[in-house]
Amino acid sequence: MKIIMLGAPGAGKGTQAKMIAERYQIPHISTGDIFRANIKNGTQLGMEAKKYMDQGLLVPDELTVKILLDRVAQEDCKNGYVLDGFPRTIPQAEVLDKALAELGEAIDYAINVDVPDENIVRRMSGRRACLSCGATYHVEHIPPKQEGVCDNCGQALVLRDDDKPETVQNRLKVYHEQTQPLIDFYTAKGVLKTVDGTVDMKDVFEAIVSILK
Ligand code: AP5
Ligand code: MG
Ligand code: ZN
């Protein structure tokens, strides 16, 4: 099963993608997590990506597409995967589509997690992220067992550099301009499903599971 998560920054794509990955035993692939891991490790790719991410801009397609195509070609992706944060532009979607078509494959579901902009800024300021394993928490909704420490791996949790309110505004603008057109793209392919992302995360997940059945 090949699934794409669509939605504004902070809509809960990552939160839901992790739950889907666990339930269906498929890898969760987040281009944002891949970039953040590279930034943390000080790689060339990380330094390049950081320039864009810190401003709330998209990393150029040339950098992003190659990383994603390499990742989905790996052995553990044989039975499918859930993509979180990719594609984010029409050209990215077209490249993915073409690569899959060459293998006689296609995306099965594009899940659009719908959350209005007003809710987003509030959510982001409460988010805490683990840059080691990619786990995400929220100081009110999903607190870690011990404040500031990742439940999974024990590393310190941080407020992401791009979660400052002014950067969030920029990310929302970029989302509406460059990513939202993908909703029409996947509607035209007959695979788009929209869920209400404003309800409790468990209820969002239930809505997704009933679509995937
Ligand atoms: P990326 O890491 O993908 O960030 P994003 O799309 O901005 O999305 P987020 O990760 O911020 O939000 P999310 O939807 O995953 O929400 P989450 O589950 O954490 O990308 C970062 C940057 O990398 C981009 O800006 C760009 O520069 C670059 N990049 C990445 N991919 C790229 C690509 N393909 N092309 C070009 N550039 C790319 O939830 C948010 C918060 O809300 C959390 O605290 C969570 O606990 C909480 N929450 C979740 N669900 C609920 C709920 N139902 N109720 C209440 N709270 C909830
Ligand atoms: Mg995310
Ligand atoms: Zn961790």
CATH code of the domain covering residue 111 = 3.40.50.300
pLDDT of 93 > 90? The answer is yes
Amino acid symbol at 133 = C
Question: What is the model's pLDDT at position 54?
Answer: 94
In a domain, 183, yes or no: yes
pLDDT digits (tens, 9 = 90+) for 140-180: 989 999 999 999 999 999 998 899 888 999 999 999 999 99
Give the pLDDT band (50/70/90) at residue 122.
Answer: confident
| CA 41 to centroid of ligand 1, rounded, Å | 20
Residues in contact with ligand 1 by the CB-under-6-Å rule are 7, 9-15, 30-32, 35, 52-53, 56-59, 64, 85-86, 88, 92, 123, 126-127, 136-138, 141-142, 162, 171, 197, 200-201, 204
Which strands make up the sheet holding 192-196, listed edge to edge? 28-30, 81-84, 2-6, 109-114, 192-196
Q: Point out the ligand nearest to the CA of residue 114.
A: 1
pTM for the structure as a whole: 0.94
In a domain, 130, yes or no: no
Q: Rounded to whole angstroms, how far apart are CA atoms 167 and 131?
A: 19
Number of structural domains the chain divides into:
1
In a domain, 172, yes or no: yes
In a domain, 56, yes or no: yes
Q: Nearest C-alpha to atom 40 of ligand 1 is from which residue?
A: 10
In a domain, 195, yes or no: yes
β-partners of residue 111 are: 5, 193
Q: Rounded to whole angstroms, how far apart are CA atoms 188 and 142?
A: 35
In a domain, 42, yes or no: yes
Residue keyed to tokens 């995306």: 107
Domain that holds residue 94: 2-116+164-212
Q: Which residue among the candidates 2, 36, 88, 128 is catalytic per the annotation?
A: 88
CA distance to 61, 107, 112, 113, per residue, from 116 (Å):
26, 26, 12, 10
Tokens describing residue 128: 């805490």
Q: Rounded to whole angstroms, how far apart are CA atoms 8 and 120?
A: 8
Please report the atom of ligand 1 found closest to the CA of residue 33. Answer: 2
Amino acid symbol at 199 = V
In a domain, 48, yes or no: yes
* Largest Cα–Cα separation, the chain: 47
| CA 185 to centroid of ligand 3, rounded, Å | 34
pLDDT digits (tens, 9 = 90+) for 16-44: 999 999 999 999 999 999 999 999 999 99
* Catalytic residue check, 122: no
Cβ-based neighbours of 121, under 8 Å, separated by 6 or more: 165, 168, 169
In a domain, 142, yes or no: no
β-partners of residue 5 are: 84, 111
| CA 161 to centroid of ligand 2, rounded, Å | 13
